[in-house]
Amino acid sequence: MSFVLAPHEGAGEGLSRVIREQAEKLSAECAEAQEHASAFAHKARVRCKRIRAALRLARPLMSEKVFARENRWWRDLGRLLSELRDAGARLEALESLRPFLVARVGVDATHRLEERFLAERKSTDSSAAINAFINQLEARDGDLVPQLDDGSRDKLVKALAETYRMARAAMKTALESSEAELLHEWRKQAKYHALQVRLMRQQFPDALDRRVAGVRDLAELLGEVQDIEVVAEASRTWKQRPSGFFDVLKTRRTALVTGATATGAALFAEKPKSWISGLTPPVMAGQD
């Protein structure tokens, strides 16, 4: 099944299945990790984030001790690939900015920056990080899914409301200063909310089916902002950078933050209690 809770599934049953499926796919992808190191680092970190989003939704179905342990373990596992992922992220960020940069600083300058990032990625030792990741994962083989209570949909709604609240609060804090770290935190919380909306969309299709695209768009806008931060930071020591390069990045960043502000304002206009109260489950066959 896909990354979604089916209407007929119990809360614990559905979330256990989702976590198990993501863990199994991750384990299978390890077979070709060394041959496709950069792509694997990206996919593996996405799997870890999906599992952590599911764990946050399942938080009311387990003890705080178990939640803290599982959340920390998957966080630390993903961090093993951080350096490798960062090397690939610089190239991906540049690719997303390529049309904008080519139009403003030229093809040659953009190509020189790409060559610089390619050299940095080649110099990154991927084998040690991937081996450490795989060893950690295999050490827990067969014990990757926590025991969850059956629970109810109401408990999941409570957890969804908390993620909504955290994303909304992170937005307000970020927009007060537009600092890179605060915008990154907003993106992180928005992505967790987006993943949980995907998981719950069949439980509340009228409200969440429409929201899936909106929160995805917000995460992508904030992701592009982070792309600019990545490219800017990696270019600090670039002696060949053209004049006005950082001004060009700043102009694009400002436009993206403006877009994210408008999108976020629409998505998080309501207070958490009000937003949650507007969720209505689908009418099942045989009901009035």
The model's pTM is: 0.88
Query: Quick one: the chain helix, strand, coil %, rounded to 5?
Result: 75, 0, 25
Mean local confidence (pLDDT), 167-191: 94
Residue 44's pLDDT band, with cuts at 50, 70 and 90, is: very high
Tokens, residue 201: 């969309």
- Which of 85-99, 127-141, 189-203, 256-270 is least confident? 85-99
Res. 286: pLDDT tops 50: no
Do 239 and 113 meet the contact criterion of CB atoms below 8 Å apart? no
Res. 283: pLDDT tops 60: no
> Quick one: how many helices (H) and strands (E) in the chain?
11, 0
More confident residue, 246 or 151: 246
Position 240 scores a pLDDT of 85
What confidence tens digit (pLDDT) does each residue in 68-99 have? 999 999 999 999 998 887 777 788 888 888 88
Write down how long the chain is.
288
Distances (CA, A) of 178 to 175, 225, 254, 255: 5, 10, 9, 12
Dihedral sign, CA of 130, 133, 139, 141?
negative
Which domains does the chain carry?
A: 11-277 (1.40.20.10)
Tokens, residue 283: 């009418």
